[in-house]
Structure 1
Amino acid sequence: MNIPASPFDLDAIGAGLPVTGALPEIAEALEAHHRAVVEAPPGTGKTTLVPPLVADLLARRAGDADAEAADTAAAGTGTAPLKTIVTAPRRVAVRAAARRLHHLSGNARAVGHRVRGDSQAGSAVEFVTPAVLVRMLLSDPELPEVGAVVIDEVHERELDTDLALAFSAELAALREDLDLVVMSATLDTTRFSELLGEAPVVSTPAVTHPLETSYHPHPGRMAADRRSRDAFWAHLAALADAAVEKSGHSALVFVPGAREVEQTVAACRTRALPLHGRLERAAQDAALDGTGPARVVVSTAVAESSVTVPGVRTVVDSGLSRVPRRDSGRGMSGLVTVSEARSTAEQRAGRAGREGPGTVLRAFTSDDLRHFDAHVTPEIDTADLTQAALWMACWGTPRGEGLALVSEPQPAAIAAAEETLRALHAVDAEGRPTELGRRLADLPLDPRLGRALLTAGPSAAEVLAALSDGASGDLGRASAPSREVARLRAVGARGAGGAAADAGDTAHRKKGGDRRGATSASDGVAVGLAFPERIARREGGGEYLLASGTRAVLPGDTGLSGAEWLAVGEVTRSGTPGRAGRAGATIRSAARIDEADALEIIGVTEELRADFADGKLRGRAVRRAGAIELAVTPTTVPPERAAEAVAAAVREEGTGMFRLGEKAAALRDRLAFLHERVGEPWPDPETAEPEVWLAPEIQKAARGTPPGKIDLFDALQRLLPWPEATRMDELAPQRLEVPSGSHPRVDYSTGRPVVRVKLQECFGLAESPRCAGVPVQFRLLSPAGRDLAVTDDLESFWSGPYAQVRAEMRGRYPKHPWPEDPWSATATARTKKRM
Structure 2
Amino acid sequence: MAYDLPIDDVMPQVIDALRASGRVVLQAPPGAGKTTRVPLAMLDAGLTAGKIIMLEPRRLAARAAAERMSETLGQEVGQTVGFRVRGASAISAHTRIEVVTEGILTRMLQQDPDLPGVGAVIFDEFHERSLNADLGLALCLEVASALRDDLLLVAMSATLDAAPVATLMAAPIVTSEGRSFPVTPHWLDRPIGTQRFEQAAADLVVHALNTSPGSALVFLPGEGEIRRVESALRDRIPKDCTIAPLFGAMDFKAQRAAIAPAKTGRKIVLATSIAETSLTIEGIQIVVDGGKARRARFDPASGMSRLVTDRVTRAEATQRAGRAGRVSEGTAYKLWTKGEEGALAAFPPAEIEVGDLSSFALELAIWGAQASDLSFVTPPHEGRLAEAQSVLQMLGALDTNARITEHGRALAKLPLHPRLAHMVAKGGRSAPTLAAILAERDPLRGAPVDLSLRMDAVAGKRILGEVNHAALAHIRQEAKRLAQGQNTDGPDTLGVLAALAYPDRVAMRRKGDSPRFVMSGGKGAVMPDGDPMANERLLVATDLDGDPREARIRQAVRLSDADLRATFPEQIGWHDVCTWSRREGRVLTRQQERFGALVLDDRAWSDAGPDEIALAMLDGVRQLGLMPGKAAKLFLARARLMGSDFPDFSDAHLMETLDDWLLPHLSNVRSTADWKGFDLHPALLARMSWDEQQQLAKAAPAHFTTPLGRKLAIDYEGAQPQISLRLQEVFGVTQHPMIAGQPLQITLLSPAQRPVQVTTDLPGFWAGSYADVRKDMRARYPRHPWPEDPTQADPTLRAKPRGT
TM-score (norm 1): 0.77
Q: Does 1:182 align with 2:155?
A: yes
Seen in structure 2, the aligned counterparts of structure 1 residues 663 and 832 have a Cα distance that, compared at 3 Å, is closer
Q: Write out per-residue CA displacement over residues 62-106 of structure 1, whole angstroms, 9 at most, x where no aligned residue.
A: 6xxxxxxxxxxxxxxxxxx32111112222332333333333333
**Counterpart residue number, 2:461:** none
Contact persistence 2:397–2:404 (CA under 8 A): yes
Seen in structure 2, the aligned counterparts of structure 1 residues 188 and 653 have a Cα distance that, compared at 3 Å, is farther
Q: Does 1:171 align with 2:143?
A: yes
Provide the aligned length of Structure 1 versus Structure 2. Answer: 746
Which of the two has higher C-alpha Rg? 2
Question: How far has the Cα of 1:644 moved from its partner?
Answer: 1.9
Give matches, 1:657-806, under 5 Å.
660-669=628-637, 684-701=652-669, 706-720=674-688, 753=720, 755=722
**Counterpart residue number, 2:329:** 357
Seen in structure 2, the aligned counterparts of structure 1 residues 766 and 725 have a Cα distance that, compared at 3 Å, is closer
2:542 partner amino acid = G
Give matches, 1:102-121, under 5 Å.
102-108=70-76, 109-121=79-91
**Gapped runs of 5+ residues in structure 1?**
1-8, 63-80, 221-227, 497-507, 513-521, 576-582, 818-823
Question: How far has the Cα of 1:111 moved from its partner?
Answer: 2.0
Q: Does 1:443 align with 2:414?
A: yes
Please point out which of 257, 260, 263 is paired with 2:225: 260
User: Matches of 1:379 and 1:828 in 2, distance apart?
Assistant: 86
**Counterpart residue number, 1:52:** 40
Give matches, 1:559-708, under 5 Å.
564-574=537-547, 584-602=550-568, 603-612=571-580, 616-639=586-609, 640-656=611-627, 660-669=628-637, 684-701=652-669, 706-708=674-676
**Counterpart residue number, 1:91:** 59
Name the SS of the counterpart of 1:371 in structure 2: coil
Give matches, 1:237-276, under 5 Å.
237-269=202-234, 270=237, 271-276=242-247
User: Matches of 1:741 and 1:364 in 2, distance apart?
Assistant: 87
2:81 partner amino acid = V
Q: Write out per-residue CA displacement over residues 259-295 of structure 1, whole angstroms, 9 at most, x where no aligned residue.
A: 2332223222344332222222122222222333333
Q: Percent identity?
A: 31
**Counterpart residue number, 1:477:** 456
Contact persistence 2:192–2:336 (CA under 8 A): no
Question: How far has the Cα of 1:410 moved from its partner?
Answer: 1.8
User: Matches of 2:744 and 2:128 in 1, distance apart?
Assistant: 60
Contact persistence 1:740–1:827 (CA under 8 A): no
User: Matches of 1:381 and 1:392 in 2, distance apart?
Assistant: 16
1:111 partner amino acid = V
**Counterpart residue number, 2:485:** 494
1:624 partner amino acid = R
User: Matches of 1:341 and 1:816 in 2, distance apart?
Assistant: 87
User: Matches of 1:210 and 1:767 in 2, distance apart?
Assistant: 87
Question: How far has the Cα of 1:179 moved from its partner?
Answer: 0.4
Name the SS of the counterpart of 1:618 in structure 2: strand
Q: Write out per-residue CA displacement over residues 205-250 of structure 1, whole angstroms, 9 at most, x where no aligned residue.
A: 2544233231355455xxxxxxx68x12111121112212321323
Question: How far has the Cα of 1:378 moved from its partner?
Answer: 2.4
Question: How far has the Cα of 1:454 moved from its partner?
Answer: 1.8
Contact persistence 1:87–1:151 (CA under 8 A): yes
Contact persistence 2:578–2:608 (CA under 8 A): no
1:647 partner amino acid = L
Contact persistence 1:476–1:524 (CA under 8 A): no
* Between 524-533 and 237-246, the greater mean CA deviation after superposition: 524-533
Q: Write out per-residue CA displacement over residues 724-756 of structure 1, whole angstroms, 9 at most, x where no aligned residue.
A: 887768997878999999999776657x64657
1:699 partner amino acid = S
**Counterpart residue number, 1:68:** none
Name the SS of the counterpart of 2:666 in structure 1: helix
Question: How far has the Cα of 1:349 moved from its partner?
Answer: 3.1
**Gapped runs of 5+ residues in structure 2?**
459-470, 783-788
**Counterpart residue number, 1:16:** 5
1:150 partner amino acid = I
Question: How far has the Cα of 1:599 moved from its partner?
Answer: 4.2
**Counterpart residue number, 2:27:** 39
Q: Write out per-residue CA displacement over residues 650-688 of structure 1, whole angstroms, 9 at most, x where no aligned residue.
A: 2333333xxx2333113334556779x889866644433
Contact persistence 1:753–1:771 (CA under 8 A): no
Contact persistence 1:272–1:296 (CA under 8 A): yes
Please point out which of 183, 191, 200 is paired with 1:210: 183
Q: Does 1:509 align with 2:489?
A: yes
* Between 140-149 and 282-291, the greater mean CA deviation after superposition: 282-291
* Between 32-41 and 556-565, the greater mean CA deviation after superposition: 556-565
Name the SS of the counterpart of 1:126 in structure 2: strand
Seen in structure 2, the aligned counterparts of structure 1 residues 51 and 634 have a Cα distance that, compared at 3 Å, is same
Give matches, 1:213-232, under 5 Å.
213-215=186-188, 218=191, 231-232=196-197
Q: Write out per-residue CA displacement over residues 114-162 of structure 1, whole angstroms, 9 at most, x where no aligned residue.
A: 2221222261222222211111111221110211101122222222211
Contact persistence 2:615–2:663 (CA under 8 A): no
Q: Write out per-residue CA displacement over residues 321-366 of structure 1, whole angstroms, 9 at most, x where no aligned residue.
A: 3334446799676343333333333333333333333333333344
User: Matches of 2:28 and 2:690 in 1, distance apart?
Assistant: 66
User: Matches of 2:134 and 2:415 in 1, distance apart?
Assistant: 18
Q: Write out per-residue CA displacement over residues 485-521 of structure 1, whole angstroms, 9 at most, x where no aligned residue.
A: 455445444364xxxxxxxxxxx93545xxxxxxxxx
**Counterpart residue number, 1:427:** 398
Give matches, 1:291-310, under 5 Å.
291-292=262-263, 293-310=265-282
Please point out which of 285, 292, 309 is paired with 1:337: 309
Contact persistence 2:63–2:83 (CA under 8 A): yes
Q: Write out per-residue CA displacement over residues 8-63 of structure 1, whole angstroms, 9 at most, x where no aligned residue.
A: x3xx2x4133x222111111111111111112233322222222222334xx256x
Seen in structure 2, the aligned counterparts of structure 1 residues 83 and 726 have a Cα distance that, compared at 3 Å, is farther
Name the SS of the counterpart of 2:400 in structure 1: coil
Seen in structure 2, the aligned counterparts of structure 1 residues 490 and 314 have a Cα distance that, compared at 3 Å, is closer
Question: How far has the Cα of 1:438 moved from its partner?
Answer: 0.8
User: Matches of 2:626 and 2:114 in 1, distance apart?
Assistant: 61
CA RMSD of aligned residues (A): 4.6
User: Matches of 2:745 and 2:150 in 1, distance apart?
Assistant: 80
1:16 partner amino acid = L
Name the SS of the counterpart of 1:32 in structure 2: helix
Question: How far has the Cα of 1:436 moved from its partner?
Answer: 1.2
Question: How far has the Cα of 1:380 moved from its partner?
Answer: 1.9
**Counterpart residue number, 1:290:** 261
Give matches, 1:372-411, under 5 Å.
372-398=344-370, 400-411=371-382
User: Matches of 2:318 and 2:186 in 1, distance apart?
Assistant: 11
User: Matches of 1:256 and 1:353 in 2, distance apart?
Assistant: 22
User: Matches of 1:776 and 1:240 in 2, distance apart?
Assistant: 84
Question: How far has the Cα of 1:371 moved from its partner?
Answer: 3.1
Seen in structure 2, the aligned counterparts of structure 1 residues 492 and 294 have a Cα distance that, compared at 3 Å, is same
Contact persistence 2:301–2:543 (CA under 8 A): no
User: Matches of 2:489 and 2:777 in 1, distance apart?
Assistant: 96
TM-score (norm 2): 0.80
Seen in structure 2, the aligned counterparts of structure 1 residues 351 and 722 have a Cα distance that, compared at 3 Å, is farther
Contact persistence 2:302–2:543 (CA under 8 A): no
* Between 753-762 and 151-160, the greater mean CA deviation after superposition: 753-762
2:432 partner amino acid = A
